[in-house]
Each structure stands twice: as C-alpha cells, then as structure tokens.
Amino acid sequence: MPGTLLLWVFFQNWYLIEWHLLTFSSLFLGRRLAWSVLRALISALTPSQWTASFVIVARSLATLGVLSALFYTTYLIVQRHPLVNMLYLAYPYERQ
C-alpha cells in the first residue's frame, strides 16, 4: 500500500519535471557509460587491426553528438528560464 501511495504522489507531480534539465543532466552523467558500451561494441565487432581507427572515428562522432545535444538542451533551458533563476542553481544561497 505505501508503494502505491508513493507512485500516486509521483505521478501527480509529473508536470513539475523540467524535461530539458533532466535531458541535460542525463547526457552529462551518462556520456561515459555510453562511450564505454560503444567502445566495447567496436572492439567486439571489428577486426583487431581496424579497431584503433574505428575507436578514433567513433570517439569523434560521439563527442560531436553529445556536445550538440548538450548545446541544444542548454539553448532550450536558456530560452525558457531567466538568467537569474539559472544562477540560483549554481550560486549557494545562505540565509542570515
């Protein structure tokens, strides 16, 4: 029963999630995991003499893709929220 209540509360507040910020955070935190999986896949599927070249190309393309997605989500976040609100996320606020 408590689990059902927790799910109900979670889904009632679904509209409060900032999807662009969640996407940015997921990309920023998950890029290493994605690269590790991609590199393991390249190592398993390509011949050994080609692996180094494929890894270099894949790293470049993956970096380009992740940076593009991060810049795009940053653009969407900046368009939606004022600069002062974004500074509240980075600057510690101390009550006195």
Q: How far is CA 90 from CA 39, 61, 66, 85, 87, in A?
A: 33, 30, 22, 9, 5
Q: Is residue 45 part of a domain?
A: yes
Q: Is residue 78 part of a domain?
A: yes
Number of domains in the chain: 1
Q: Is residue 5 part of a domain?
A: no
pLDDT in tens, 22-53: 888 899 899 899 899 999 999 899 898 998 99
Which two tokens mark 59? 């790293």
Q: What pTM was computed for the model?
A: 0.70
The range of the structural domain enclosing residue 78 comes to: 18-90
**Average pLDDT for residues 9-21, to the nearest whole number?**
73
What count of other Cβ atoms lies within 10 Å of the Cβ of residue 58?
16
